[in-house]
Amino acid sequence: MTIAIIQFGGSNCDRDTRRALSFLGIDAELVWYKDGLPADASGVVLPGGFSYGDYLRAGAMAARAPIMDEIRERVRDGLPLLGICNGAQIGCEAGLAPGAFTTNATARFRCEHVFVRVETTDTPWTARYDEGDVIELPIAHAEGRFEITDAELEALESDDRILFRYCTESGEVTEAANPNGSKANVAGLLGEAAHVAVLMPHPERATLPDLGWTDGQDVLRGFA
């Protein structure tokens, strides 16, 4: 029962993620994408980084690697999956979640702490929070702006599939609190089922107490 953290050329948050999961008592191993998905994997993380240098589009090349066919098949059978930052971009490119993450509205790399509001608790990733809770997580991206059609956004909202929204420290969803111009301030969302989630902020960077923030621990405990 081990979480598979998939490494692509250019992944750079894979070891951070393994260390964070291990701190929480969750077994995890690094899996090079060419080696395929281990048969005994109990979950998958698509970690942050810059897979293939974000060539073409962020996540576009990694999403077309053969291992993603294996992941899609296992996810359909209920395997939990969490895509973080570049992993969120890969997840959307691979059709695991709707919409796309594209160039920030400012066209600048944003590396800072943000506040996000928990929008639903009916998921493994947010079950330990209360709806409306505000947590602080780091971001580090140049292509984090979430885009989706109005009709798809309406479907996400009606199906309760928006995981987090960027907000103020007091929980207000405002334009000023949106670091990248994401539509409807969406910071994370679900795939077709609650066991599949993608988000731009980094919960693994807010897990170890030595780093000063631990708000991301309960996101990763979705694998526990």
Give the residue among 209, 219, 193 at the shortest CA–CA distance from 129: 219
Q: Please tell me the distance from the alpha carbon of residue 61 to that of residue 128, in angstroms, as a whole number.
A: 34
The answer to whether the CB of 87 falls within 8 A of the CB of 198 is: yes
Q: How many CB atoms lie within 10 A of CB 193?
A: 14
- Residues 13, 85, 92, 167: which is the catalytic one? 85
Q: In a 3-state reduction of DSSP, which class is residue 71?
A: helix
**DSSP H helices in the chain:** 14-23, 66-76, 86-93, 150-158, 217-220
119 included as an active-site residue? no
Residue 149's identity, in one-letter code, is: T
Query: In this structure, what are the phi and psi dihedrals at residue 163, rounded to the nearest 5 degrees?
Result: -85, -55
Run of H or E including 139: strand 134-141
85 included as an active-site residue? yes
Q: Please tell me the distance from the alpha carbon of residue 224 to that of residue 221, in angstroms, as a whole number.
A: 5
- Residues 13, 119, 167, 202: which is the catalytic one? 202
- Residues 93, 119, 143, 204: which is the catalytic one? 204
Q: Which two tokens stand for residue 199?
A: 């988000």
End-to-end CA distance of the chain: 10
Q: Which residues are catalytic?
A: 85, 202, 204
